[in-house]
Amino acid sequence: MIVAERLLTAEQVAVLLQVPKARVYELAREGLLPSVRLGRQIRVSASALDDWIADGGRALPDGWRRDKQPTSQTEENRR
C-alpha cells in the first residue's frame, strides 16, 4: 500500500519554482518534471519535487525558447 503524501498543484509548483504555470505543464508533458496526471490536471509529489530540485532539475531539450525560428543569416550559413 502506498502511503499518501502531499501532492502539489501546477500552480503551487509554479510559485515554488517562480515560473509560469504553463511552464510547469510543459515540463510535465515533456517528462522532465515528475508528475501524476489526473485528467487534464497534474499533481507533483512534494518529495519528488524536492529530489528533482536537488538533482539540478532538467532543461527542455531545445532550450528555454522552443519557438525559435532560424534567422535568414543562419539559413544562408547552411547553404
Q: 66 lies in a domain?
A: no
Model's pTM, two decimal places? 0.70
Domain that holds residue 8: 1-60
Residue 68 falls within a domain, yes or no? no
Question: Does 5 fall in a domain?
Answer: yes
Per the structure, how many domains does the chain have?
1
pLDDT at 43: 95
In a domain, 72, yes or no: no
pLDDT tier at 26, thresholds 50, 70, 90: very high
CATH of the domain at 14: 1.10.10
Q: How many CB atoms lie within 10 A of CB 27?
A: 24
**CA distance to 9, 12, 44, 55, per residue, from 38 (Å):** 11, 16, 11, 25
Share of the chain above pLDDT 90, in %: 51
Position 73 in a domain? no
Q: How many residues does the chain have?
A: 79
pLDDT category of residue 1 using cuts at 50, 70 and 90: very low
Please report whether residue 78 resides in a domain: no
pLDDT digits 0-9 by tens, 44-55? 999 999 999 898
Cα separation, 65 vs 77, in Å, equals: 21
